[in-house]
Amino acid sequence: MTTLSTPRTTPPPRANRIRWSIPARLRKSILVTHVASAGIWIGIDVVSIITVAIGWVREGEARTSAYRALADYFVVPLLVAALIAGAICLVTGLLLGMATKWGLVRYWWVAVKLVLNVAALAMMLAFLGPFTELASGEQPLEDIWFVSFLAATAMSFLSFAMVISVFKPWGRVRK
């Protein structure tokens, strides 16, 4: 008995799709850099939250000293380090999106991660002025709440991005 089979044909490539072919070793290096930069960013957020919390539980002069140390030695260097880690995370995420089957906005979970990363970076840039005013002494130390707000918000964004990276929910953007 003979069976009739139709030859498999591959669909023609889409003209609007950008996909680079990169070697597996390079792709894995980019992926490691992406994960490491996100981990560094989360670590910076944890350090910021803990340092502000230490100041909150203190009273009087001890609180002022903790906030002064945070403003003088941590705020601007942590912000710069977080901006660098966030930018690296964004760039490597874009490279991975263009070089893998997931695409940049082909799947909802990738698009959401992209939006979260851009939103977190925009928030850090929006708080750049108050951070430098705090570090220079132009802003009262009691107004340090935004350091923990920014860190907690970024940490929640990044944690959510990590979860959706693992579970990959929601399917394709368009069929």
Supply the range of the domain harboring residue 102.
24-167
Q: Is residue 37 part of a domain?
A: yes
| Residue 116 within a domain | yes
- Say what the pLDDT of residue 14 is: 55
Residue 44 lies in a domain: yes
Rg (CA), the chain: 22
DSSP category for residue 142: G
What is the pTM (predicted TM-score) of this model?
0.79
What's the confidence (pLDDT) of residue 20? Answer: 74
Q: How many domains does the chain have?
A: 1
Residue 19 located in a structural domain: no
Identify whether 16 is part of a domain.
no
- For residue 2, is it within any domain? no
* Regions of the chain short of the pLDDT cut 50: 15
Q: Is residue 84 part of a domain?
A: yes
**What separation in angstroms does the CA of 99 have from each of 15, 20, 25, 80, 114?**
16, 5, 12, 28, 15
The answer to whether residue 139 sits within a structural domain is: yes
DSSP structural state of residue 172: B
